Amino acid sequence: MLCNSRNMGNGVAQARPESLVHIQDFTMMFGSHAVIDGLSFDINRGETFGFLGSNGSGKTTTIRALLGIYQPTGGTLHINGRPFSPEDGRQLGYLPEERGLYKKESVMDVMVYFGRLKGLSRQAARSWSTSFLERTDLEDKATVRLDKLSSGEQQKVQLGVTIMNNPELLILDEPTKGFDPVNRRLLMDIIEDQKKAGATVMMVTHQMEEVERLCDRVLLLKNGRAEAYGSVTEVQDHYGGTTIRIRYAGAIPASPLYRVSLRERNYAELKSANTTDESVILKALVEAGVQIWEFSTGKLSLDEIFLKVYGDESRSDHSR
């Protein structure tokens, strides 16, 4: 069921047995400014959850409070039914937006070092790293210093370090930042493999096509509050339902069957009235003398919804 900031108040997001992450009435103040204001949501075990918002909406602040980096002003933030503690780190994979690798060391040395920290033997860490480097076309970079790699190559290594312990919870903050389309697709395939292996994935990204492909449910965070929260389909339905897209010549007449939500030269988007069948609308347009070149229906994309919710705000760059 879709929720928004007006119906996500106290008591809405009670912890459920299927919840791996439970956040209830979370508030975070920096001075007199509330960065997060009464936020509540759950992430279910085994799902991929999109945590979305413009820059400065509070996403990174929420993650840092969940992981104990920030002390929340109020509310509950639990993983597996309790606050996160350092000893839980072996069940967690966290890819922060600010990357942190030892760039003066070789790729293999860095990966083995982090593998040891995550509880792998040296041999197991080296074997896993070798396989990962082969999969990501970095097998010839194993002995190269990290600072000699491109930003995209460094990002691949960072991802490998993040997932090498097969974490129960995988938190990815802008995982495809700096990737070209080929490597973005590779990364999404790797994330899907992690999910199939049983991981729960919390993903922060501005790439809405990734969300549509990977995520089971999403939360749109705006000004520290939940603007929308539900499945991808529920969010799409909430922000417009089915959209009729046409390319045409002529004049689209006013009609009780539909309203024109967008008109650009020979392209228009229509919203049907109530449950009017799309074929009825097409027939009405043709009978009115509109020449239809293309006629298609579909839900608003998440990219269109993101622009509708955040507008110019998404182009700004705030801290936190």
pLDDT tens across 196-239, in order? 999 999 999 888 888 988 899 999 999 999 999 999 989 988 88
Q: Is residue 306 part of a domain?
A: no
C-alpha distances (whole Å) from 295 to each of 194, 242, 252, 257, 276 are 39, 13, 14, 16, 16
pLDDT on residue 24: 96
Quick one: tokens of 268?
């228009």
Q: Does 281 lie in the same domain as 183?
A: no
Instruction: Identify whether residues 216 and 256 lie together within a single domain.
Output: no
Tokens of 116: 């040891």
Q: Sorting pLDDT into bands at 50, 70 and 90, what band is 14?
A: low
pLDDT digits (tens, 9 = 90+) for 64-116: 999 999 999 999 999 999 999 887 877 899 988 776 778 899 999 999 999 99
Question: What is the reported pLDDT for 285?
Answer: 95
Residue 249 shares a structural domain with residue 153: no
* Higher local confidence (pLDDT), 278 or 275: 278
Residues 199 and 138 in one domain: yes
- For the CA atoms of 58, 177, 218, 81, the dihedral, rounded to the nearest 10 degrees, stands at -70
Can you give the pLDDT at residue 283?
A: 93
Whether 168 and 54 map to the same domain: the answer is yes
Asked, for residue 31, whether it belongs to a domain, the answer is: yes
Task: Summarize the confidence of residues 123-150 as an average pLDDT.
Answer: 95
Q: Are residues 168 and 90 in the same domain?
A: yes
Domain annotation covers residue 35: yes
Show the domain range for 181: 19-236
Q: Is residue 229 part of a domain?
A: yes
